[in-house]
Every structure is written in C-alpha cells, then in structure tokens.
Structure 1
C-alpha cells in the first residue's frame, strides 16, 4: 500500500482513538487492529504510537503484535510434532501457535497498572525463518507509573472468532475457486484440519475480551481483481517485500521466496475459512467497524 494511504489510515485512527479515550480515563484504552499480512499493520501501529505521544497532551502508548505471542521455537516444534496430521500447524501462523496465557498475563498487567510488565519479542529470522522468541533479558519492560493510556495489539487474526460447524462447512465449500486462483495446493489441508484450528480459536476470546475498540483495516486490499486473479494475490507480494526488507537488514537471514509463498498459503487458508470478526458480533456504538482509506 502507498505511504499516502497508510498515513491517512494513521490520521483516521488517531482521531478515533482520541474520541474513545475520553470515555475510559480510569484505565488504558485497548485497541485491536486487524489486517492482512504485510499490509502495514506494524508500521501503522508504530506511527499511531508516535502521533499519540506528541504534544502537551502526549499519551503513553504500548504496542504489541500478536506475532510476539508465538510459542518459542521449541514450543512450536513440539506443537507441530503433536499435530503431524495437520500441515497447517507445522510452523507458526495459525491460531493454536500463540501463548494465550502469556497474552492474558501481559494485558492484565497493563490494565491494572502493574509496576513492571515485560513484553515478549519474536524474531522471525531465527532458525532460518522458523522464528524464536528473543532472550527474556532483551525484551522491553513497561514500568508503571506513569500509567499506560493506550494499548494497541495488531495482527492478521486479531479479533477472529470461531465459527459454528455449519458456518465452517459452508465456507469450506465456497473457497475452492479462490484456492485455484492463488495456486494453493489442494492437498495442503482438509476440512478436519480447519476444524481443528477453529477449535483452537475459541481460546482467543479471552484475549479479545480485553479490547474496547476493534479496527478492521483493509489497508490497500483491492475491492476486486482482474478475471482469473484473486484480490488476495497482493498479500503474497506484501509479505515477500516484508521478508526481503528484513533480510536486507540482518544479512540475509530468513525465509526463501518459496517458503514465504508456503507460509502465506497456510495463513490465507485460516483467514478465508475462519474470518468471523469479533466486532461484527458486538456492534457497539463506539467501535470503528471497518477502515479502508
């Protein structure tokens, strides 16, 4: 997405966050930002943090990516080994590969004003792109007071809720055309594999319950595509650019282009099959339901 579009997104989000902050001065405002892979969520979150931190009324903002809650590499390997029947779980990405307990502990600490809250960081370049948490001593610590004003959590599956068996089966029946356009191997997964991830997604509700504001951002995803192509094809380009940028900074450590394609294949299956967003269930007047500048 263009820098102009992302900058506009930051402006809109800043205005919306400030309008909601006045309603919840007794504790931090929790903001959830969902958008496709590689679309600029991390950049938008960082810029929003900077913008809210400016001026005489500067706010203290904490940003956390759902990616930072991935299990450590040893945990991912163990999880994959216990789910060898499910190709979608042979690495990070899908619901089930995050440490939900750790996420709850962090958000709880920020909410109640705990004096020290350590934020995990996940380095995607480790283990040849499989990723691992950075050492605890290298993770940032949020100290309170002063109290945190805003907490932003961003990620591709932030706010996603599990589907009923009927809803999931219906989506499974309709995704074939999109899969073909994206050249995703038919044998990559089965309905049973998606059902297993859908079951894991139920655990995430405990995280989403912290949030006051849910923002689902299109962040440049085209409304349609040329005949024979998928509107989601651009996600592959975004994610590949993201990987190339990381490797250019760290000496070439990370996933190959082929591995990036396989990774996006896996997460796309989760996004397309499980995409039932929490905010669509809540309908609060204060929420921003969709943003596509």
Structure 2
C-alpha cells in the first residue's frame, strides 16, 4: 500500500499529464527482464489510469510472437531458437501496424474497433500460439511491455570480451546474430513515446526469481522446471541479449529512457530516478 501512494499513484498521474500534452494516445514502453514485475506494474497503472478517466490497455511483446506454425518453421531454419522470446521470434510488422492504429484511434469514433493481438502461452504444450485478438476503441494510453522493449543494437567488437555465460565462439556467434536482429526492431521502438526501465540491482536476481516462481508452481501441484532447467533457460536469454551489455548503456540514454526503477532481490523497490541523474 505504501508503494501505491509513494510511487504508483504519482507515476499514473505523471503518465496522465504526458497524455494531455500529446495530440495522440501515449505509447509508454516498459522494459524489464524476467521477474522484474513489468506485467504487475502494467496492471496497477491500468487500474489507476482508468480511475483518472484514461482508457488504458497493456500489450506485451509476447502478444506479437509469430504464430506456432511460423515458429516451427523458424526453428527448422535456425535450430538455436529453442525457446520463444529472442529477437527474430516476433511479428514486428504486426506490432507496428497495431501501435499505428492505436496512435490514430482518438481521431476515430468509438464504433471503430482496433484488433489487439493476444497470445496464449499454454497452447501446444507450452509452446504457445496467437489467439483471437481483443477488440478495443478510443484508447488514451498504451503500455507496451517486454523483456527487451526499447533495447538497441551495440557495437560488434563488444562481444570479443563478453561476460559469462557468453564463453565459447558458438555463444559469441549467437550473441552477435541476436544483436543484428535488433536492427529489425528499431522501427517498432520508434513508436514508443518514452521508456520506463525496471532495473534489478543485479541482473542475476532473475535466476533466483525464476527458481522461486517454479517452486511455488510445484508446491501448488503444477509442473515446474528443475533448477538445472531454469539455469539453462535463464542463461539462454543472457546469451541472446546480455543485461550488462545491452541494459547498462541504455539506462544512461536520456533521449530514450525517462525513468529507471531499481528492483531489490526481495522485489522491493530501490532507487527511482531519471537517466540524467547518472550524468
């Protein structure tokens, strides 16, 4: 409750103020790795903004995954894409088209419905697939969240001395290829008005958080990953886009990022600041 009054409500009011200064719906990016609470933040902001009179929706980058059939084909072309999620597994044009329609929605009548792509992760034994879109109209604020939303490509030479788990030449090749794939996402990131970054004090917390989440699932009678499976799963994404290489430079970029929220190991909030605080 303390977070609600000290942080979430002021943030909601700030987003509402930003919307008032725009001639189109606000598209606010939210970047956060596994377990940082980006989906929870989006839900809280939707509740607050709706109370303030702003019709708000949340879209995850997961919602624009390529279809199951397309990803099966993709995996045949590149066997390294063993998980959905890394750059290259999304329908970028669908994301651009959706955000474009939403940005134009306040010029249209409430009868004009806009399809919002949605994804069900439980289909095909957890591989997931796209489902019927959600139809919306007259949206004021869009929260676009995901684990690498807004992340930019970096200089290739950085991978010559990359941190673990990027160790072998095969790892470096994968990291370089994923870095190049980010170029395709830049037109999508251009649709964001600004970016909030949920920033763990230590990126390795995400492994600990995943273990806790899986243990809770197993305790409730559901199936969950073993610690060994979690290790491979989390490190796969660190190899694709390592937080030290991609997130650390981004949070210093005052042009792209407007707020950084540090996350402690127990999920409590740490410092909250603007990027120019660092400069």
Verify the 8 A CA contact 1:35 1:216 in the aligned structure 2. Answer: yes
TM-score (norm 2): 0.79
Q: Which residue of 1 aligns with 2:255?
A: 283
Distance in 2 (alpha carbons) for counterparts of 1:107 and 1:83: 29
Q: Which residue of 2 aligns with 1:44?
A: 41
Aligned-pair distance for 1:122?
2.1
Q: Which residue of 1 aligns with 2:161?
A: 173
Q: What are the Cα deviations for residues 247-281 of structure 1, in whole angstroms up to 9, with x where unaligned?
A: 788x7366555433322111122133444766755
Verify the 8 A CA contact 2:61 2:146 in the aligned structure 1. Answer: yes
Q: Which residue of 1 aligns with 2:274?
A: none
Between the two proteins, the alignment pairs up a number of residues equal to 256
Verify the 8 A CA contact 1:100 1:204 in the aligned structure 2. Answer: yes
Q: Which residue of 2 aligns with 1:64?
A: 59
Q: Which residue of 1 aligns with 2:92?
A: 100
Tell me which of the two structures has the higher relative contact order, counting C-alpha pairs closer than 8 angstroms and 6 or more residues apart. Answer: 1
TM-score (norm 1): 0.76
Distance in 1 (alpha carbons) for counterparts of 2:235 and 2:5: 29
Q: Which residue of 2 aligns with 1:135?
A: 131
Matches within 5 A, 1:153-164: 153-164=144-155
Q: What are the Cα deviations for residues 93-117 of structure 1, in whole angstroms up to 9, with x where unaligned?
A: 2111111011111111111116222
Distance in 1 (alpha carbons) for counterparts of 2:5 and 2:38: 12
Distance in 2 (alpha carbons) for counterparts of 1:29 and 1:69: 19
Q: Superposition RMSD on alpha carbons, in Å?
A: 2.9
2:210 to 232, 239, 263: 239
Distance in 2 (alpha carbons) for counterparts of 1:266 and 1:126: 22
Matches within 5 A, 1:207-218: 207-218=188-199
Unmatched tracts of structure 2, length 5 or more: 263-269, 271-279
Distance 1:16 1:164, change over 3 A: same
Q: Which residue of 1 aligns with 2:9?
A: 11
Verify the 8 A CA contact 1:247 1:253 in the aligned structure 2. Answer: yes
Q: Which residue of 2 aligns with 1:149?
A: 140
Distance in 2 (alpha carbons) for counterparts of 1:7 and 1:82: 50
Verify the 8 A CA contact 1:73 1:132 in the aligned structure 2. Answer: yes
Verify the 8 A CA contact 2:197 2:261 in the aligned structure 1. Answer: yes
Aligned-pair distance for 1:51?
0.6
Q: What are the Cα deviations for residues 114-156 of structure 1, in whole angstroms up to 9, with x where unaligned?
A: 6222222222233333x222432xx3211x2xx2110000111
